[in-house]
């Protein structure tokens, strides 16, 4: 990186990171058979650092594995790309060459970007130690051992090394460029042969936080638009506003590598807005601190293995440190489209979920369409959420409604939203998240909110019934899709949390709210008159919307589907409950051959079909044959 975007001392962090990775690998935290080649003078680090690099390794490795597994199902014609920004002396590509099973018959293009000093040093080590990196320098590898100027001709960016290992269907490019110079980076990507239309995974570990906030945001926005099908995994500091975080910032500043992005982006909400606000094309974003990664990405056996590696008693410091680093997972696929980031951290039910999505809103009269960011609640949102809830419900003058609102704000679940909705509960069989709360914001202003929790005993619902509650939308954002977007996010959460039904109560005078629920498939269950006002109960069975004709699978051939079709609203489409999915896969196998099912799966790439839930199911069935 040049001095225009990052201090020279940032390059020193690459050398330090390599030493830390080697030290952690040497103690058995993870396997890396290549890192020692990039560390001439090893030194042992303390256990706290080992554990930090271990979680960083877990987050990146699992992301890469999920990405490759998703696209490896596409067979011999599949092509995927991984771009590592600020790669330093990372050895991921070389480790992947020994894990060909991850991408099977697919073709992998791997590109690393860093500053000239790091790129030159890395290239020299690899070419000097040809025995170790033999797969890159064998007769079947097409090589370029010299610096090749990028197409801009300025010398500011260059391709230092390119190799292709035909026997493994993999290619490797090592390039030098200032990450703050998007124009040169674009020229470089084209010169290196990256394909804008291929599925691409972008990795950046402790990189974006060093960039100037404006240039860092420009980089993230450009990546979201340049690649048509991309996911980004960013590992960076988060929320360094307390004394612990301020000490960490001073430490980096003293080393001459200030965390510049933290001037503008501190909280998870800041980062959601950074990724999802226009003109960015990222449509979803997840933020998980490293405590969540440890809880959700490692099982009990792995936790036990790690605890036995070294004597360790700094658990308080480790928890504090983990809370100050996070992995950000962003995707530019359509909201609701099946994509591997949703499967990251499968054990996350016992930890807070921090997710967000960008939703295009209907345009205002005479104005342009805006984008709403729908994200999980954060404690700083409390005052705005309470004000919105109170204002929207006090539009109705019934004394009982005013009393209800006051009770919720003073003693009920709106007094402390985080406590009421965002903590795990020991219900439905285990401690897990059976409740959650979301907010919607436009241009940084909070305009909507909604919550979900387990239906209370006596509320009319079964044990697996969720209660939709506290839906509120500011008058300025009504009739623009905010309410529908909030309910859609809630339903997706309810499905993954084990609920099979959602119910709610609304005031009878709220005609627009009732119209919204009916439009989303809710049926009126009961209506109760309380004199000055009435309550209307709605309910909806959660299922998987399927349009077989859009998949090219004629419903006429479903001879064995009589029992399934009884649950359909129409002859060809319907909501199949999660319990019916196992039976459905066998029925599909009886009715259609593998070629027809493969074609149906391919059609799911077209977002116009709208089969976002069935899309997640059908690829699983094909891979389990």
Chunk the chain into consecutive blocks of 10 residues (it has 625) and report each block's average pLDDT, rounded to whole numbers: 48 90 98 95 96 98 93 77 97 94 89 95 89 69 44 63 90 94 94 95 95 94 96 92 82 81 85 87 89 90 96 93 92 72 68 67 65 88 96 80 90 94 59 79 92 73 81 92 90 80 90 91 90 87 60 52 41 40 52 62 42 37 34
Q: How many CB atoms lie within 10 A of CB 49?
A: 15
| The total number of residues written for the chain in this structure | 625
**What pLDDT score was predicted for residue 22?**
98
CA-angle at 502, arms to 497 and 506, nearest 5° = 140
Round to whole Å and give the CA distance between 281 and 617. Answer: 26
CB neighbour list of residue 412: distance below 8 Å, 6 or more residues apart: 420
Q: Containing H/E element for 71?
A: helix 47-72
Q: Which residue has the tokens 């990546």?
A: 223
Q: Are strands 107-114 and 170-176 parallel, antiparallel or unpaired?
A: parallel
Which domains does the chain carry?
7-143+156-348 (3.40.50.150), 371-541 (3.40.630.30), 548-624 (1.10.238.10)
Tokens coding 540: 């909806």
How far CA 435 is from CA of 49, 322, 413, 484, 520, in Å, comes to 34, 24, 12, 19, 21
Nearest alpha carbon to residue 84 among 109, 57, 113, 60: 113
**What pLDDT score was predicted for residue 264?**
86
- Give burial (CB, 10 Å; 0-12/13-18/19+) of 274: buried
Round to whole Å and give the CA distance between 142 and 127. Answer: 14
Tokens coding 207: 């990189």
Tokens coding 104: 């099977």
Give the 3-state secondary structure of 364-397. CCCCCCCEEEEEECCHHHHHHHHHHHHHHHCCCC
Round to whole Å and give the CA distance between 190 and 264. Answer: 31
CB neighbour list of residue 498: distance below 8 Å, 6 or more residues apart: 428, 434, 464
Give 211's DSSP letter: S
Bridge partners, 144 (sequence order): 162
Contact predicate 19/51, CB 8 Å: no
Round to whole Å and give the CA distance between 537 and 517. Answer: 10
Q: Are strands 230-237 and 200-205 parallel, antiparallel or unpaired?
A: parallel
Bridge partners, 575 (sequence order): 545
Nearest alpha carbon to residue 69 among 54, 58, 80: 80
How many DSSP H helices and E strands does the chain contain? 20, 22
**What pLDDT score was predicted for residue 134?**
74
Contact predicate 587/560, CB 8 Å: yes
- Whole-model pTM? 0.78
**What pLDDT score was predicted for residue 556?**
56
């Amino acid at each position: 990186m040049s001095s225009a975007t990052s201090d020279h001392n940032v390059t020193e962090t690459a050398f330090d990171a390599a030493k830390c990775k080697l030290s952690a690998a040497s103690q058995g935290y993870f396997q890396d058979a290549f890192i020692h080649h990039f560390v001439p003078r090893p030194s042992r680090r303390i256990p706290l650092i080992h554990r930090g690099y271990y979680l960083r390794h877990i987050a990146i490795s699992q992301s890469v594995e999920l990405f490759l597994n998703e696209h490896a199902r596409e067979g011999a014609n599949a092509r995927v790309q991984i771009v590592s920004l600020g790669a330093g002396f990372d050895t991921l590509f070389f480790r992947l060459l020994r894990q060909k099973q991850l991408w099977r018959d697919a073709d992998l293009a791997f590109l690393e970007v860093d500053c000239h000093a790091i790129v030159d040093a890395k290239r020299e080590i690899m070419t000097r130690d040809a025995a170790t990196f033999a797969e890159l320098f064998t007769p079947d590898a097409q090589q370029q051992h010299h610096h090749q100027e990028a197409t801009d001709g300025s010398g500011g960016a260059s391709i230092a090394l390119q190799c292709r290992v035909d026997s493994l269907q993999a290619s490797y490019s090592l390039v030098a460029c200032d990450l703050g110079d998007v124009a040169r980076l674009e020229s470089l990507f084209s010169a290196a042969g990256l394909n804008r239309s291929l599925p691409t995974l972008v990795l950046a570990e402790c990189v974006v936080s060093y960039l100037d906030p404006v240039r860092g945001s420009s980089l993230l926005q450009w990546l979201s638009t340049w690649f048509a099908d991309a996911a980004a995994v960013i590992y960076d500091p988060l929320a360094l506003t307390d004394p612990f975080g301020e000490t960490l910032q001073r430490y980096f500043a003293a080393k001459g590598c200030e965390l510049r992005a933290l001037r503008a982006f501190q909280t998870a909400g800041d980062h959601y807005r950074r990724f999802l606000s226009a003109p960015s094309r990222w449509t979803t974003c997840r933020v998980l601190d490293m405590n969540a990664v440890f809880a959700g990405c490692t099982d009990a056996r792995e936790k036990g293995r790690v605890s036995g590696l070294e004597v360790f008693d700094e658990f308080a410091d480790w928890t504090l440190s983990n809370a100050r680093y996070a992995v950000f997972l962003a995707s530019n696929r359509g909201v609701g489209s099946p994509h591997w980031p949703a499967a990251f951290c499968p054990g996350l039910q016992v930890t807070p979920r921090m997710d967000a999505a960008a939703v295009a809103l209907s345009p205002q009269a005479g104005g342009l369409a805006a984008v709403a960011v729908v994200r999980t609640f954060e404690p700083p949102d409390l005052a705005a959420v309470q004000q919105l809830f109170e204002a929207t419900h006090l539009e109705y003058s019934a004394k009982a409604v005013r009393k209800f609102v006051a009770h919720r704000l003073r003693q009920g679940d709106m007094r402390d939203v985080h406590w009421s909705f965002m903590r795990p509960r020991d219900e439905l069989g285990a401690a897990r998240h059976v409740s959650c709360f979301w907010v919607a914001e436009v241009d940084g202003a909070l305009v909507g909110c909604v919550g979900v929790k387990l239906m209370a005993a006596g509320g009319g619902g079964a044990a697996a019934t969720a209660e939709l509650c506290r839906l509120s939308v500011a008058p300025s954002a009504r009739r623009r899709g905010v309410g529908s977007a909030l309910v859609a996010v809630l339903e997706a959460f309810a499905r993954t949390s084990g609920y099979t039904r959602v119910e709610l109560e609304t005031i009878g005078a709220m005609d627009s709210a009732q119209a919204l629920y009916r439009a989303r498939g809710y049926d009126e269950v009961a209506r109760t008159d309380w004199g000055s006002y009435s309550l209307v109960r709605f309910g909806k069975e959660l299922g998987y919307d399927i349009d077989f004709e859009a998949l090219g699978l004629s419903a006429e051939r479903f001879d064995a589907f009589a029992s399934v079709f009884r649950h359909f609203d129409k002859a060809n489409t319907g909501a199949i409950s999660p319990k019916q999915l196992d039976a459905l896969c066998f029925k599909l196998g009886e009715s259609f051959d593998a070629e027809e099912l493969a074609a149906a799966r391919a059609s799911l790439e077209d977002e116009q079909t709208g089969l976002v839930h069935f899309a997640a199911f059908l690829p699983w069935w094909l891979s389990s044959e």
